[in-house]
């Protein structure tokens, strides 16, 4: 059978990959929202960047980009963006209001929904007619004309993987989007009223103490609505994993600790695992605990009771998770191995 892996005489065998599913085959699959309606209480789920309550689905799978750290296309979804037809997507969306009457937002969780701009525009035009508010994942390289069509079609927010504010790191990870391109994209989004949840990663190849500061400054310049800062995780099967193992930058085998919290498992000559780990919290604090951000949040809370409840909940959760992160780091720090060349905090 194509596409399966198995162990034979102690060796892992990978069978030949099957051809990617065609649009016709994807359209023939049942709608996932039928299953949600039957088995899932969508009111029990929340997202830090979507309006509550929200529903999430895929219009396609795969991402043509080549980011070396990214698990999805390299290990699971592949580099060919296989998509459902526009009509099939709109057909499912048109049933959402009936299925989920309280839904405030729809999230398209495709790796990169904007990878096919003409299709994204066509879907947006259909969504506009349906009166749906929606959000999705995007790279920071969409042209302004497309952004305008998406916004007119009800787009509220993009989740954007900026990853780093350092040009060389972006080249090292084959992001395919320069700092300057990301700036232009972000400016266009701000001008058109498209919100951004910006995601950043600390500990990518080429990271130093200076590049961490540079990325923090870049995030402040981009002014995303909300922010996510992750530790670079070298997942087996990715080019990033090969890079860190080959260069002896991997400090420990497990990516998470015993409670499920993400650990920093890479350490470089210029910046240690411990420093990278600590920088995540500094990053959040410098972004969120500023008069400008606090004032913006107060205004949002004043505008809606639900938004106030959501933001307060997020705030409490954030403070709690940072405290837990510090506790875990303090108890496990002695166990974090550092290569001899790594700088210490
Ligand atoms: S663009 Fe996003 S989904 Fe695609 S490879 Fe890069 S990080 Fe992964």
Instruction: Judge if the beta carbon of residue 115 lies within 6 A of ligand 1.
Output: no
Residue 248 burial (CB count, 10 A): 11
Per the domain annotation, does 175 fall within a domain? yes
Instruction: Judge if the beta carbon of residue 275 lies within 6 A of ligand 1.
Output: no
Distances (CA, A) of 301 to 90, 248, 260, 294, 313: 33, 48, 32, 10, 12
Instruction: Judge if the beta carbon of residue 63 lies within 6 A of ligand 1.
Output: yes
Per the domain annotation, does 143 fall within a domain? yes
Query: Ligand 1 centre from 139 Cα, in Å?
Result: 8
Per the domain annotation, does 319 fall within a domain? no
Instruction: Judge if the beta carbon of residue 65 lies within 6 A of ligand 1.
Output: yes
Atom of ligand 1 at shortest range from CA of 139: 1
Per the domain annotation, does 168 fall within a domain? yes
Instruction: State how many domains the chain has.
Output: 1
Which has more confidence, 133 or 97? 133
Q: Is the pTM of this model over 0.85?
A: yes
The answer to whether 308 and 298 have CB atoms below 8 angstroms apart is no
For residue range 8-39, list pLDDT tens digits in order. 999 999 999 889 899 999 999 999 999 999 99
Structure tokens at 218: 């870049």
For residue range 268-313, list pLDDT tens digits in order. 999 999 999 999 999 999 999 988 888 888 888 888 777 777 777 7
Per the domain annotation, does 102 fall within a domain? yes
Instruction: Give the pLDDT confidence score for residue 341 in this predicted structure.
Output: 30
Residue 83: which residues within 8 A CB-CB, separation 6 or more?
Answer: 23, 26, 59, 60, 116, 119
Query: Ligand 1 centre from 344 Cα, in Å?
Result: 31
Instruction: Give the pLDDT confidence score for residue 343 in this predicted structure.
Output: 29
Distance CA 286, CA 215 (A): 12
Atom of ligand 1 at shortest range from CA of 111: 3
Residue of the CA atom closest to atom 1 of ligand 1: 65
Residue of the CA atom closest to atom 3 of ligand 1: 111
Q: The domain that contains 125 carries what CATH number?
A: 3.20.20.70
Atom of ligand 1 at shortest range from CA of 137: 2
Structure tokens at 69: 């750290």
Instruction: Give the pLDDT confidence score for residue 88 in this predicted structure.
Output: 98
Range of the structural domain that residue 209 is part of: 14-250
Distance CA 117, CA 83 (A): 13
Per the domain annotation, does 342 fall within a domain? no
């Amino acid at each position: 059978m194509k596409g399966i892996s198995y162990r034979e005489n102690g060796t892992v065998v990978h069978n030949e990959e099957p051809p990617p599913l065609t649009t016709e085959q994807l359209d023939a699959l049942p709608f996932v929202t039928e299953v949600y309606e039957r088995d899932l209480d969508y009111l029990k789920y929340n997202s830090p960047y979507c309006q509550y309550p929200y529903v999430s689905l895929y219009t396609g799978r795969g991402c043509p980009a080549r980011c070396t750290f990214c698990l999805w296309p390299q290990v699971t979804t592949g580099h060919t963006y296989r998509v459902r037809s526009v009509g099939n997507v709109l057909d499912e969306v048109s049933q959402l209001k009936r299925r989920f009457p309280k839904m405030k937002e729809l999230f398209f969780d495709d790796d990169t929904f904007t990878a096919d701009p003409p299709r994204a525009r066509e879907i947006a035009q259909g969504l506009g007619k349906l009166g749906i508010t929606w959000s999705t994942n995007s790279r920071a390289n969409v042209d302004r004309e497309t952004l305008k069509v998406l916004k007119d079609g009800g787009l509220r927010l993009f989740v954007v993987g900026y990853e780093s504010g350092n040009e060389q790191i972006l080249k090292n990870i084959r992001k395919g989007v320069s700092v300057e391109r990301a700036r232009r994209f972000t400016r266009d989004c701000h001008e058109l009223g498209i919100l951004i949840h910006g995601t950043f990663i600390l500990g990518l190849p080429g990271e130093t103490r200076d590049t961490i500061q540079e990325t923090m400054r870049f995030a402040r310049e981009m002014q995303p609505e909300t922010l996510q800062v992750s530790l670079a995780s070298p997942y087996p099967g990715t080019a990033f994993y090969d890079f860190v193992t080959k260069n002896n930058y991997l400090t420990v085998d497990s990516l998470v600790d015993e409670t499920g919290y993400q650990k920093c498992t890479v350490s470089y000559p210029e910046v240690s695992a411990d420093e990278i780990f600590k920088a995540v919290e500094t990053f959040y604090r410098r972004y969120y605990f500023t008069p400008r951000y606090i004032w913006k949040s107060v205004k949002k809370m004043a505008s809606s009771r639900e938004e106030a409840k959501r933001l307060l909940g997020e705030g409490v959760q954030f403070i709690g998770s940072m405290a837990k992160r510090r506790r875990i780091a303090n108890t496990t720090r002695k166990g974090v191995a550092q290569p001899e060349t790594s700088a210490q905090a």
